[in-house]
Amino acid sequence: MGRTYPWCGNQIEWFLWKVDDKNMLKKILIGIVVLIIVCFGGYDIYTRIQKSHEPELVFVDKDLRTVAEDNFNPYYYVIKAEDYRGKDINDKKHLAYKVKNKGKKSVKVIYILTDDKGHFVQKELTLKKVKTVNYTPEGEQNGALSNAPKKDNKVFLFSDYDQIAIRAMAEADNYGYESSQNYTVNPALDENGELIGYECVFLN
């Protein structure tokens, strides 16, 4: 009968314990990796949803981002403020602003647009200081949409935009810009020669 080695049993138990320990450690590490992937994936989905629900804030064209006085109304430079469903929220309840600084050559304004569900977007606008403000783009302009159907001339009255001249002009310019035609933006006068708005006139 061969020899027996009592210590072998202990060695085998120790070896099996180490194997189980390594398997457990591997499972824990795999679990941690999976958890990290799920967390980051969930955060990415959440971020995308939040981004898709951001309100839309659109300013006037760059050429019109000018100011001639220190006491100006920042709301004049906003032509569109809508929630993600397209509802107009261009009002003081939803749109707030803060004048960041006033320099010799420009003024910076920070706008925050918040919808009824708490989604918000923040944008910064720089206004160039000038001696006089020119509301109309000069000369012939080009429409940006090559396949858009032809449009007719259209007048944009101050009375439709809270008597804000720059907003009426911006709407007239945007109307022409979103077309396939060349256009000009001209002053619209009443029978007494008073300026009452701006007209988008197509040239072709």
Query: How do the domains of the chain map onto residue ranges?
Result: 56-132, 135-204
Sequence-distant (≥ 6) Cβ neighbours of residue 185 within 8 angstroms = 136, 137, 141, 169, 172, 173, 176, 198, 199, 200, 201
Q: In this predicted model, which residue has the larger pLDDT, 38 or 104?
A: 104
**Residue 115 CA, distance from chain mean position:** 13
List pLDDT tens digits, range 23-53: 666 666 776 766 676 666 665 654 565 567 8
Q: Which CATH number fits domain 56-132: 1.10.3470, 2.30.110, 2.60.40, 1.20.120?
A: 2.60.40
List pLDDT tens digits, range 111-168: 999 999 999 999 999 998 887 766 667 788 889 998 899 999 999 998 998 878 888 8
> Given pLDDT bands bounded at 50, 70 and 90, which one contains residue 4?
very low
**pLDDT value at residue 61:** 79
> Given pLDDT bands bounded at 50, 70 and 90, which one contains residue 11?
low
Of 95-104, 110-119, 170-179, least confident by mean pLDDT is 95-104
